[in-house]
Structure 1
Amino acid sequence: MSHTFSNLLLIVSVFLSGTQAVPQAPIASICSFQWTPSSAYDIFKDLINTSGYHKDVRPINASAPFDPTTGATPTTVKVNFFVSTIESIDEVGGSFRVQLLFRQKWLDPRLAYENSFQYQNQCNNNRPSTLRIPDSMIDNVWTPDLYISQELDSKKHGLFHPNQFIKVTPKGNVNFSQRITLTLSCPQLAKSDVVKKECDMSVESYGHLQDELALDWTEEHPVYVEKDIFAPRKYKLDKLTNGRCDTTTSYGVYSCIKAKFHFSRN
């Protein structure tokens, strides 16, 4: 009896040692929230309409430097633009007309959605890196009150649809892009005795001092031009440079950035 039982154990052990585990198919991760075209609308509707967000209140970055003399923490806005077309040069009136893709970037922690229910319940590989704010909500979002000192006329494009967007990262980094055409004053264009002419384009806040809104250029490609861009009336755009033009007034110091168009006449 014991001999038979021992043989049985031997057979079972041999059988088990030769058996390989069958690989199991990975269990598919379960997404409790399916991403749809309306998902961005739902996220920003909650952030803008129901969380106390106010478009007239500028965003405050807790990590930004605090100025003890004014008690203010500035909102930093970084700018760059791309020159796509120089439409006209008016030597008599001393002006030129240019088409730009104008971009502004800032941090608005109130628009951060990384902890929102809709975003948290997405599968990791299904989470978008940025969300576009729906066009119907753009007017409800804070944007910088910028103006251009040399502006004589301006136009925002949008024959079929407004040529603009606001995209936001999960942490609240905002990218505001617009396609605009500007007619800018440039007195040097009216001077016939000047061969090389420099035309400024100065950008600053209309109502916020430097300790409230700080303007700066983006680190990469602050200003750049369409390759082989054409300038009318025998002119050539030699280069486009950028710098600063901070302005001191009776109210205080305004942050200002400046681009300079360097024209020469053939």
Structure 2
Amino acid sequence: MPSSQGKSLMAQLLKEYDKATKPSGGILDVQAEVTIQDISSISEISSSFIVDLWFSQIWADPRLAYSHLSCKSNLSLDESLVQKIWTPNLCFTNSQNTYIHSSPESNILLIIYSNGTVWLNHRIRVQGRCTMGDGFANFPLDTQSCFLVLESCGYPIAEVRLSWLNWNPVSVASEKLQLPDFRFVNLTYTRLLRRYNAGAFDQLKINFEFKRLYGYYVVQE
């Protein structure tokens, strides 16, 4: 929970704050960071996989700068404050299902730095898509690919430019991700541009590669 000093400071900053208005009059840069916590399953039936991850969005909102009001370098705030500020509304556009972990409270962390930098972090579970590319022609010696796609659900590139964090933007918390019938082989990430009728949008894509553990099927037989 934020301290009474933090609450008082935020109340002052939000007094004339309009959450419906983007921080910058021009194009706003938003960075993203993802840390993979666990991959619990891969389903050939639904062509999907389930991944638990920490997901951060970072941007600058000069309206929330408070270096002139306090000597505190940052404020750690609870999820109730997220509803009161502008956010870039990033979402996983290829997800079949997504929810925020709660243990017991929602796993959301909001940090606002004295210069107005906003760091919003969610711990979530995502059911993403897998390509199952070779049609299982090499089963059980096949390799399968799954992916996640991040995009702003409300702002085209004319308003928001989305990019990966400059350092270590996508990482894996554990060196050994345990799956019963697949071995995690590789992870890559890239930035793409997707055009819709509504305009062009930045996309951040994470690709996961898995090698099937054929010994699992030998044992099952």
TM-score scaled by length of structure 1: 0.74
- What is the CA-CA distance between 1:190 and the residue it aligns to? 8.7
- Given that 2:88 and 2:154 are in contact with CA atoms closer than 8 Å, whether structure 1 keeps it comes out as no
Which structure dedicates a bigger proportion of its chain to helix? 1
Structure 1 position 95 matched with structure 2 position 42: no
Pairwise mapping of residues 239-258 of structure 1 onto structure 2 (< 5 A)? 239-258=186-205
- Given that 1:94 and 1:189 are in contact with CA atoms closer than 8 Å, whether structure 2 keeps it comes out as no
Structure 1 position 58 matched with structure 2 position 11: no
User: Could you say what the CA RMSD is over the residues aligned between the two structures, in angstroms?
Assistant: 1.8
Give the distance between the partners of 1:135 and 1:227, measured in 2 at CA: 27
Partner of 2:9: 43
Structure 1 position 115 matched with structure 2 position 115: no
Partner of 2:217: none
- Percent identity of equivalent pairs: 26
From 131, 139, 152, the counterpart of 2:83? 139
Indicate the larger mover: 144-153 or 167-176: 144-153
From 26, 34, 40, the counterpart of 1:73? 26
Amino acid corresponding to residue 155 of structure 2 in structure 1: H
Which structure dedicates a bigger proportion of its chain to strand? 2
Amino acid corresponding to residue 230 of structure 1 in structure 2: L
Amino acid corresponding to residue 122 of structure 2 in structure 1: Q
From 186, 200, 204, the counterpart of 2:147? 200
Sort the Cα spacing of 1:147 and 1:37 in 2 relative to 1 into closer, same or farther, 3 A. closer
Give structure 1 stretches of 5+ with no counterpart.
1-35, 61-71, 120-126
- Given that 2:156 and 2:201 are in contact with CA atoms closer than 8 Å, whether structure 1 keeps it comes out as yes
Partner of 2:93: 149
Sort the Cα spacing of 1:254 and 1:138 in 2 relative to 1 into closer, same or farther, 3 A. same
Partner of 1:3: none
Partner of 2:127: 183
SS in 2 for 1:263: strand
Indicate the larger mover: 200-209 or 98-107: 200-209
SS in 2 for 1:255: strand
The higher radius of gyration belongs to: 1
Partner of 2:219: none
- Given that 2:78 and 2:108 are in contact with CA atoms closer than 8 Å, whether structure 1 keeps it comes out as no
SS in 1 for 2:96: strand
Structure 1 position 235 matched with structure 2 position 182: yes
Sort the Cα spacing of 1:202 and 1:242 in 2 relative to 1 into closer, same or farther, 3 A. same
Give structure 2 stretches of 5+ with no counterpart.
214-221
Sort the Cα spacing of 1:190 and 1:177 in 2 relative to 1 into closer, same or farther, 3 A. farther
TM-score scaled by length of structure 2: 0.88
Give the distance between the partners of 1:143 and 1:191, measured in 2 at CA: 40
Give the distance between the partners of 1:172 and 1:232, measured in 2 at CA: 41
- What is the CA-CA distance between 1:56 and the residue it aligns to? 1.4
Give the distance between the partners of 1:225 and 1:109, measured in 2 at CA: 32
